[in-house]
């Protein structure tokens, strides 16, 4: 009898130990953000209306029709006059970039944002265990990750990852790598560095599908410090709840809708195809299908299920289903929407699909206006806007959605760990946003081009030379 009692006690204690071990292990697998630092270039790199006009005027391959197309594209882009360009563009060398131009652009970002981030968190470079760098359209040897390690004298056993060619959604791909490392290793610091190099990728040809990229992409970047240290939970600002990645590279039309290539005259650029919106829509729908059960409360999923059954059973109903709008109410599980600033049409399209209001879309629209499309780092500028406006309160849930070449749609959900109010790179202008009008002055300045009808007699005005 005593033996059985001891055996029962042992079994119960062992089961308690297994439960405790599983719970303890899961606690060490969390992914927290301690801080992030967006990059803001110097004011002499701002692309005002006159500056943009001169850059366009330097391209001798453009004709009257291309000027009219550019005018329409810039006016409808949603960008303002304070976005930034790399140094070689400002110096008039965009048509003949060098390897050093790309390296200088990245080094400026690395030395500014990473240094500020480490100083803000009081973390030494030698404490970083994992480094993930994503810059899609620029690859140097040694890698950009190695340049960071060399500059900051990081440890010899640091786990470094250098991603290229992953497009505007690379930020969340880098985050997924860090999340997976955190699941198998305890008490780690990770540094995520996300940016894009425009210096060697400014298009100098006249292909309309490639000129468009010049109207949207701007210089920028962000450095993010993450950890899974349980002891730092109280210092964290965000906690990762879930992450979903969707890749449609197997589809021919999705794969080819946006990619880097040379035009017929040999000018390198980034091609944006007319089938891009369709490819993005399909990837978005597939991503939401996986994301919804992870994000939405049970009552919303139950409501959707019942509503879907009623619609199927009610065959006599003449009401047409609106395929452009999600039947799910994502606001029931999400407080803030952090959208990729791929362009005005992208932001408006997501807003229509998720039935979002102007307040929900304001952070993305204002980020596009102030900083442009900074590729994979754009999500963090949008997050910075929300924080600078003091909208992020403890317990709020923030949904990030990004798109990228391939074609990819990646999303993730964050929980806000404390009330946030850091103004970050928005410090000097956040009080002026949103402005009364987002009207682009390009039409007022260059609208006369639309009145020119004869391309053979058109000449570039002196103020554009």
Q: Which of 31, 38, 52, 168 is catalytic?
A: 168
The DSSP symbol for 325 reads: S
Annotated catalytic residue, options 162, 214, 287, 373: 373
DSSP SS3 for 342? coil
Q: Decide: 233 and 416 in contact? Cβ < 8 Å.
A: no
* pLDDT of 321: 42
Residue-level pLDDT at 319 = 43
Q: What is the pLDDT of residue 439?
A: 82
Residue 248 annotated in active site? no
Q: Which of 228, 247, 287, 440 is catalytic?
A: 247
Which residues of the chain, if any, have pLDDT below 70?
1, 3-4, 7-9, 13, 16-18, 20-28, 315-324, 456-465
pTM of the entire structure? Answer: 0.91
Strands 159-163 and 130-135: parallel
The answer to whether 151 is a known catalytic residue is no
Residue 59 in contact with residue 204, Cβ under 8 Å? yes
404 Cβ neighbours under 8 A, 6+ residues apart: 136, 166, 167, 168, 169, 170, 376, 410
Cα separation of 242 and 230, whole Å? 18
Catalytic entry in 88, 336, 409, 410: 336
- Can you tell me the distance from the alpha carbon of 295 to that of 379, in angstroms, rounded to the nearest whole number? 19
Catalytic position from the list 59, 248, 287, 340: 340
Task: For residue 367, count CB atoms less than 10 angstroms from its CB and return exposed for 0-12, middle for 13-18, buried for 19 or more.
Answer: buried
Active site residue 369: yes
Cα–chain center distance at 335? 19
How many residues does this entry show for the chain? 465
Verify whether residue 156 is a known catalytic residue: no
Closest by Cα among 292, 290, 294 to 304: 292
Answer yes or no: 373 catalytic.
yes
Do 75 and 69 meet the contact criterion of CB atoms below 8 Å apart? no
Do the Cβ atoms of 169 and 402 come closer than 8 Å?
yes
CA distances from residue 237 to 28, 146, 191 in whole angstroms, order as listed: 17, 28, 15
What is the CA 187 to chain-centroid distance, rounded? 27
Strand residue runs (E) in 150-278 = 159-163, 189-195, 221-227, 238-247, 258-262, 268-272
In angstroms, the Cα distances linking 78 to 328, 334, 373, 374 are: 28, 25, 10, 14
Predicted pLDDT of residue 411: 97
pLDDT of residue 247: 96
The distance from CA 11 to its chain's CA centroid, rounded to whole angstroms, is 50
Bridge partners of 88, per DSSP, are none
DSSP letters, 16-85, are HHHHHHHHHHHHTT--EEEEEEE----GGGB--HHHHHHHHHT-TT--HHHHHHHHHHHHTS---S--B-
Beta bridge partners of 134: 163, 194
Distance from C-alpha of 57 to C-alpha of 442, rounded to nearest angstrom:
14
Nearest alpha carbon to residue 205 among 137, 259, 261: 261
Is the distance from CB of 107 to CB of 400 less than 8 angstroms? no
- Note the pLDDT of residue 43: 94
What's the CA gap between 414 and 175, in Å, rounded? 12
Active site residue 180: no
57, 49 contact by CB (below 8 A): no
DSSP 3-state of 399: strand
């Amino acid at each position: 009898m005593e033996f059985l009692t001891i055996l029962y006690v042992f079994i119960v204690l062992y089961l308690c130990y297994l439960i405790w071990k599983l719970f303890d292990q899961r606690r060490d697998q969390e992914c927290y953000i301690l801080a992030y630092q967006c990059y803001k270039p110097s004011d002499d790199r701002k692309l005002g209306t006159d500056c943009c006009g001169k850059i366009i005027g330097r391209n001798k391959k453009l004709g009257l029709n291309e000027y009219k197309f550019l005018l329409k594209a810039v006016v409808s882009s949603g960008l303002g006059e304070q976005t930034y360009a790399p140094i070689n563009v400002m110096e008039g060398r965009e048509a003949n970039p060098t390897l050093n131009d790309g390296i200088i652009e990245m080094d400026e970002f690395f030395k500014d944002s990473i240094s500020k981030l480490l100083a803000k968190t009081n973390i030494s470079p030698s404490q970083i265990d994992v480094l993930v760098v994503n810059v899609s359209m620029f690859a140097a040897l040694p890698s950009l990750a190695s340049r960071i390690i060399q500059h900051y004298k990081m440890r010899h056993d640091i786990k470094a990852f250098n991603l290229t060619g992953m497009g505007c959604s690379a930020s969340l791909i880098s985050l997924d790598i860090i999340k997976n490392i955190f699941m198998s290793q305890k008490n780690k610091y990770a540094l995520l560095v996300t940016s894009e190099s425009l210096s060697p990728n400014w298009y100098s040809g006249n292909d309309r599908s490639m000129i468009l990229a010049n109207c949207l992409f701007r210089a920028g970047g962000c450095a993010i410090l993450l950890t899974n240290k349980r002891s730092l939970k109280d210092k964290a600002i965000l906690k990762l709840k879930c992450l979903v990645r969707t890749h449609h590279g197997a589809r021919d039309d999705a794969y080819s809708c946006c990619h880097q290539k040379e035009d017929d005259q040999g000018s390198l650029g980034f091609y944006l195809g007319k089938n891009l919106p369709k490819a993005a829509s399909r990837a978005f729908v597939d991503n939401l299908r996986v994301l919804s059960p992870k994000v939405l409360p049970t009552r919303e999923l139950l409501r959707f299920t019942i509503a879907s059954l009623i619609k199927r059973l009610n065959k006599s109903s003449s009401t047409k289903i609106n395929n452009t709008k999600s039947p799910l109410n994502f606001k029931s599980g999400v407080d803030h929407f952090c959208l990729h600033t791929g362009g005005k049409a992208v932001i408006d399209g997501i807003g229509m699909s998720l039935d979002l209001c102007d307040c929900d879309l304001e952070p993305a629209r204002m980020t596009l206006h102030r900083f442009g499309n900074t590729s994979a780092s754009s999500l963090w500028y949008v997050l910075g806007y929300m924080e600078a406006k003091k909208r992020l309160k403890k317990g709020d849930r923030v949904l990030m959605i990004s798109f990228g070449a391939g074609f990819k749609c990646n999303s993730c959900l964050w929980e806000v760990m404390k009330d946030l109010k850091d103004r970050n790179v928005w410090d000097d202008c956040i009080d002026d946003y949103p402005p009364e009008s987002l009207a682009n002055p390009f039409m007022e300045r260059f609208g006369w081009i639309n009145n020119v009808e004869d391309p053979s007699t058109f000449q570039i005005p002196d103020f554009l030379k």
